[in-house]
Amino acid sequence: MNKSHQEILVEVNNLKMYFPVRRGIFRRKVGEVKAVDDIDFTIMRNEILGLVGESGCGKTTTGRCISRLYKPTSGSIFLEGTEISAMSEKQLKPIRRSIGIVFQNPYTSMPPGQRVGNIIGNPLITYHLTDGTEYKDRIAELLHSVGLDPAMANRTLTELSPGQRQRVAIARTLAPQPSLVICDDPVSGMDVSVQAQLINLLDELQESLGLTCLFLTRDLAMGQYISDRVAVMYSGRIVELATSRELCENPLHPYTRALISATPVPDPVLESKRHYTVLPGEAPDPVTPPTGCHFHPRCPIAVGECHEERPPLREVGVDHYVACIKA
Ligand SMILES: Nc1ncnc2c1ncn2[C@@H]1O[C@H](COP(=O)(O)OP(=O)(O)O)[C@@H](O)[C@H]1O
Ligand SMILES: [Mg+2]
């Protein structure tokens, strides 16, 4: 779809989130963890945007800034045209309902002993979205929308399978009809078949409810499968952003290429020909990231300039951006 015809739901500009590192008995600040280091992106209404990268690259921190669980160090975040990055807790109150989060672990993010109906119904009461008469119907409807039997409202989380628990988490998130849902690695650690079912559920919900979603994952293939566009993140920065298809067919950043090369393909012939690039070294420490391009110490095509200058995220094709001077 042509981007110019779509409406921007979220716009993130120059977002930074630095955490102080404190030492000693006086808890003096001795440095900063640059968890998110100046990123820009937009999320269109009714789009799933994937944010993909290794553990520690800054995905969760980005999600927590956008949902304003964190107040960013700097930068701006617009939600439906309203700047929310510097809002106070009081100002955020009417906004809270608009952003939902599905966490990685449904067991620690919801009270395990509580009944499913109460878990899903809670946000309806908190946000005064029910007059009482249709409360039960609304819960049944929400359970139905995530593929669960409405009779499950009387069960507790402990009685459910991991996949069912995550469905409950999705239903709870959807209850206040948020305009943005942030899914933080929602299926990692689950059986592959359960993962597939949940991913397909999100896909269906995007269609049926016009869901807009920021999907955080370490799994590039999954990110590409579920998302309309994918942003690849490395060491607190976005290194490449493109439509899923374009990223699959024409990856340009050396880090994206390395990630793709590390992903097994189901076709045995193709799989035997797959050229696996092993990146030397480890992901950088966000307290002391490399100068210039954060990826340069591990990059197979780095030149002198990469040590000095941060490459801008530049447009190289329709809806395709890359932060590499050599790409
Ligand atoms: N509250 C915090 N205080 C200090 N450092 C943090 C905090 N949260 C995350 N970090 C650090 O920021 C970096 C990015 O973390 P995170 O956003 O959780 O990455 P991801 O979700 O991609 O695995 C990591 O180095 C992590 O250790
Ligand atoms: Mg995370």
Question: DSSP code of 310?
Answer: P
How far, in Å, CA of 278 to CA of 300, rounded? Answer: 10
DSSP symbol at 75? E
Reading the block at residue 210, the tokens are: 């016009």
Q: Tell me the one-letter amino acid at 80.
A: E
Ligand 1: atom nearest CA of 233 is 22
Residue 7 burial (10 A CB sphere; 0-12, 13-18, 19+): exposed
SS3 63: helix
- Give the length of the chain: 327
| Mean pLDDT of the chain, nearest integer | 93
Confirm or reject: Cβ of 57 under 6 Å from ligand 1: yes
User: DSSP strand E in 117-259: where?
Assistant: 180-184, 213-217, 229-234, 237-243
Ligand 1 site, residue 284, Cβ cutoff 6 A = no
pLDDT digits (tens, 9 = 90+) for 17-40: 999 999 999 999 989 999 999 999
Following DSSP, what letter does each residue of 95-120 receive, concatenated? HHTTEEEE-S-HHHHS-TTSBHHHHH
Distance CA 170, CA 202 (A): 9
Residue 44 and residue 212 in contact, taking contact as beta carbons nearer than 8 Å: yes
Q: What is the pLDDT of residues 124-148, one digit of tens each?
A: 999 888 887 899 999 999 999 999 9
User: C-alpha dihedral over 23, 27, 29, 33, to 10 degrees?
Assistant: 60
The closest of 104, 107, 109, 110 to 186, measured between CA atoms, is 104
Nearest-angstrom CA–CA distance, 123 and 142: 12
Report the distance separating Cα 218 and Cα 57, nearest Å: 9
Does 186 contact ligand 1 (Cβ within 6 A)?
Answer: no
CA 217 vs. chain centroid, Å, equals 6
Q: Does the CB atom of residue 17 touch ligand 1 within 6 A?
A: no
Per-residue pLDDT band at 173 (split at 50, 70, 90): very high
Are 85 and 65 in contact, with CB atoms under 8 Å apart?
yes
Q: For atom 7 of ligand 1, which residue has the closest CA?
A: 19
pLDDT digits (tens, 9 = 90+) for 249-299: 999 999 999 999 887 777 777 777 777 777 888 899 999 999 999 999 999
Pocket test for ligand 1, best of 29, 30, 57, 61 (most atoms within 8 A of CB): 61
The pTM assigned to this predicted structure is 0.94
State how far the alpha carbon of 272 is from the alpha carbons of 220, 251, 267, 275, in Å: 20, 20, 9, 8
Name the residue at shortest CA distance from atom 13 of ligand 1. 35
- Ligand 1 centre to CA of 58 (Å) is 6
What is the Å distance from ligand 2's center to 235 Cα? 13
Per-residue model confidence as pLDDT tens digits over 61-102: 999 999 999 999 999 999 999 999 999 999 999 999 999 999
All domains of the chain in start order, with CATH: 3-98+179-322 (3.40.50.300), 111-177 (no CATH)
The residues that bridge with 78 in the sheet, in sequence order, are: 11, 83
* Residue 95 and residue 68 in contact, taking contact as beta carbons nearer than 8 Å: yes
User: Is residue 237 within 6 Å of ligand 1 at its C-beta?
Assistant: no
